[in-house]
Amino acid sequence: MSHSAANFIALKTIWIKECTRFLRIWIQTLVPPAITMTLYFVIFGSIVGERIGEMSGVGYMEFIVPGLIMMSVITNSYSNVASSFFSAKFQRNIEEMLVSPVPTAVIIAGYVGGGMARALIVAVIVTCVSFFFVEDIQIAHIGYVILTVILTSTLFCLGGLINAVYGKTFDDISIVPTFVLTPLTYLGGVFYSVSLLPEFWQKVSMANPVLYMVNGFRYGFLGQSDVSIGLAIAVLVGFNVLFFAAAYYILDKGIGIRS
């Protein structure tokens, strides 16, 4: 058997394991995001949205749909890989995989693929939920929708893997979502256009990478964005390269795993 065929089998095995893991407990992994996003639509969309009216020339409910989908993608991409990899590390079976002839890149791709699968399924579920609140959801640029969601999901899968490597306890896994992801997401233009902010805070917001993800995704839906779509894609690609290089290095060296 050739190396490429063996690597493909290894990749498929890891991916199937990861998908089976979250599908087996779908009530815990797929249902909560649907409930949470429904509450967001009811509270921020129906109740608050009626008072706001329009945002950037479109209905407020329609405006927040891309942001809420992206929020669910970010959260589920990170949490799936972080919890799965840390569990494997905690149970000491990740070491067997690292000493096997499976290339480091294949291991990363397997875990990232599993996290992306969960994120994309949740994205579809949230999109279906949005149909109950928005009568007509139009997609202006389907290519940007697909590209942005894939790059964002990959990025936070890699982030979850890196966090899992350095995490010492299960509490360490929840620190990043609580103190990093949540603030960045809420300040990333999910519920508002940064053009409404004072000039100083607009500049501060430009340092938030989530802003580029949300606006890139919103551009795919509505055809409008608070930032240059080219810059948004460049930021996503840059962070993906950086995070992949970091994940590859720490796994290849066994940092935080081999002792």
SS3 sequence, 103-162? CHHHHHHHHHHHHHHHHHHHHHHHHHHHCCCCCCCCCCCHHHHHHHHHHHHHHHHHHHHH
Reading phi first (left if > 0) and then psi (alpha if -120 to 50, else beta), residue 198 is in beta
In the numeric block, which tokens belong to residue 228?
């240059």
Tens-digit pLDDT string for the chain (259 aa): 577 888 888 899 999 999 999 999 999 999 999 999 888 888 877 777 677 777 777 888 888 899 999 999 999 999 999 999 988 888 877 777 777 788 889 999 999 999 999 999 999 999 999 888 887 778 889 999 999 999 999 999 999 999 998 888 777 788 888 888 888 888 888 888 888 888 888 888 899 999 999 999 999 998 888 899 999 999 999 999 999 999 999 988 877 776 5
pLDDT value of residue 258: 60
Burial of 258 (0-12, 13-18, 19+ CB in 10 A): exposed
Give the C-alpha separation, 54 to 174, whole Å.
35
Residue 172, C-beta contacts closer than 8 angstroms, at least 6 positions apart: 163, 166
d(CA 119, CA 145): 14
Take residue 32 and report the two structure tokens written for it.
């909560």
Return the SS3 of 54. Answer: strand
pTM of the model: 0.91
